[in-house]
Amino acid sequence: MFPRVITVRQGERTYRYLAIVQSYREGGKIKQRQVGTLGNIDRYSDEEIMRIINKLRGFLSDDPLGTANDLQTQGVREYGVPYVVNTLWGRLGLSDFISSRLSDRQVAIDVDLCTRVMVLSRLMAPRSKLGVSRWAERIYLPGADGTRPDVHQYYRAMDYLLSLKEELEAHLYHRLTDLLSLQLSMVFYDLTSSYFEGGACPLARYGYSRDRRPDRKQILLGLLVTEEGLPIAHEVYEGSTTDRETLPDAINRLKERFQVKECIFVGDRGVMTRDNLEALRGAGFRYILGYHKRNRLVSDLLLERYRDLGSYRELGKGGVRYREVPPDVVEEDPEFPEEEKGPGVRYILCYNPERAEEDASSREKALAEAERELALLRDDLSGERKRRGRKLTQKGVMLKVAKILGHGLARFFEVSYDGKHLAFSRKEEAIAREALRDGMFLIKTDCSLPPDQVVTAYKNLFGVERAMREIKDFLKLRPIYHYNADRVRAHVLICVLAYLFEQWFEVLSRRKVAAEVAQAEAIPDPEERKRAVERARASLLTGRRMVEILNRIKAVEQVFAGKRVVSVTRPGPEQREVLSILGVTPPPALLLPD
């Protein structure tokens, strides 16, 4: 039986009646007959029709359609970031790469799935591998529903992944070159350290600590990134390795693994020995190096000579100013070290007003703190303040003074002690000389780029330093839970992979903003142009912020009429904007569970 609407015309009017019709067979033919009528259908409201439908459904012993009472929500899982990473993972061809490289091994675990989950954990909620195995229940990963590796599988996946590291870096570089139109004409190199809570790892050694924890053993991480901050290669070294020892590895990677024939290498002077510079030249690479402004003969000499900022040029609208030192000044100056000269070598002096304010503020805080501690020591010695313990000897007093005035502050104070009284005062002349160097830095290069482009390139090195902070802070490189050297290296590899995705997000946002700024700057009206440029620049989203926005997209697991369904929360304006920037289509409203 089925409902049918029967139309009846009476004069100028038309009436529609709802009838119940039954089909039956008679003499081999199918016929129909009306078994009932519900009257004029146009006189029923939608609510009345629904009541009729629900009343009829009440006679069913097993209702396949279900009602609102049959809908049960079982849980909500995070879906936005897994969905986007899964999409970009496919564009990078990572699943095919991993499976093809492991096809000739007897691998009993899903290395690709374990790697994706560990990368997602680094992006969304960094934790130990045991924590990852528990946290994985909170995400909905397309294609892996119901598959939950245990902690031992994550460990084994790390071992397999590390064995593919060099091939993986080359694969990612070539894929990103296609996807993002990369041109590796300039690379940035920097190092950072990360200390261990324990000391059992063979890589852990005492060395120069950028974490200011010389009491802890550490590892050293060297990172090569593009101009836009995308990591392309990294290496983990023993913690006692000096900066300059790491550079030959970086040069070899660029030359051999990535087949880079011509490139400008950007880094700090600390990694550049004479041998390293020769190695760069031998590889056909140029360099842009930053000098520390203090305790360097070259920087002291030039900064002293070129104090007049009126002779400097302005770099764009950021306030940074620069001046290139004439080549003949360098070549003909007898005080200039011969080893710092050479054909094509150039020096550029720079001034950053924002950095100058920071330098002045930082110095004043350090001077004030030193004065406070010296005053306390003076009061202790004069008896104005009660002090516990034995009386300090004259040597003990001077040792305490030396400790207070450590980190280069001794040259700013005049201190005297006659065995009874401690006196101190600032050396205002020395402080004034130091103030002349606030915000100043020096660049050395052998490339042929115009000086403004050289300065811009070196300023971008600070983006690499930010990348290091991101890896350690945002991706939680520390604490390092592994003590096996290869597991530590694999852990860092996972962190760098996660940072690649986070930085990829930001690169696409920066490119979008740059295009909008270029359009805005073409607006004729000055006021309107200024507002449009400010709006465009204000729309920049960091990779971290984009991850936070995507995290609001959830997968809702439900059971309806005995069947499991997964619905996706509707992306809001911010989520749609991020998806658009990344070139990823919004997820479907309903997912089919595996």
**For residue 293, pLDDT beyond 60:** no
> For the CA atoms of the chain, what is the radius of gyration?
35
For 144-172, the pLDDT digits (tens) are 666 788 899 999 999 999 999 999 999 99
| Averaged pLDDT score across all residues of the chain | 84
Tally Cβ neighbours within 10 Å of residue 485. Answer: 15
pLDDT band at 71 (very low <50, low <70, confident <90, very high): low
pLDDT band at 270 (very low <50, low <70, confident <90, very high): low
Which residue reads 């830095």 in tokens? 441
**What phi and psi values does residue 37 have, to the nearest 5 degrees?**
-140, 145
| Half-sphere CA count of 451, side-chain side, radius 13 A | 20
What pLDDT is attached to residue 295?
Answer: 45
Residues 80/550, Cβ–Cβ less than 8 Å? yes
Residues 206/218, Cβ–Cβ less than 8 Å? yes
Residues 96/175, Cβ–Cβ less than 8 Å? no
Residue 183: which residues within 8 A CB-CB, separation 6 or more?
A: none
For 386-399, the pLDDT digits (tens) are 656 567 788 888 88
For 305-337, the pLDDT digits (tens) are 888 888 899 987 668 899 998 888 888 878 777
Q: Average the pLDDT over 344-354 and give the result.
A: 89
**To the nearest 10°, the Cα dihedral for 96, 102, 501, 119?**
130
Q: State how far the Cα of 118 lies from the Cα of 247, in Å rounded to an integer.
A: 30
What pLDDT is attached to residue 309?
Answer: 86
**Closest to 4 measured CA to CA, from 32, 43, 24:** 32
**What global pTM score does this model have?**
0.73
Q: State what percent of residues in the chain have pLDDT above 70.
A: 88
**Closest to 123 measured CA to CA, from 86, 150, 149:** 86
For 517-554, the pLDDT digits (tens) are 999 999 999 999 999 999 999 999 999 999 999 999 99
Q: State how far the Cα of 112 lies from the Cα of 220, in Å rounded to an integer.
A: 27
Sheet of 590-591: strand order equals 71-78, 554-560, 563-568, 590-591
| Cβ density class 430-458: b for 16+ within 10 Å, e for less | eeeebeebbbbbbbbbbbebebbebbbbb
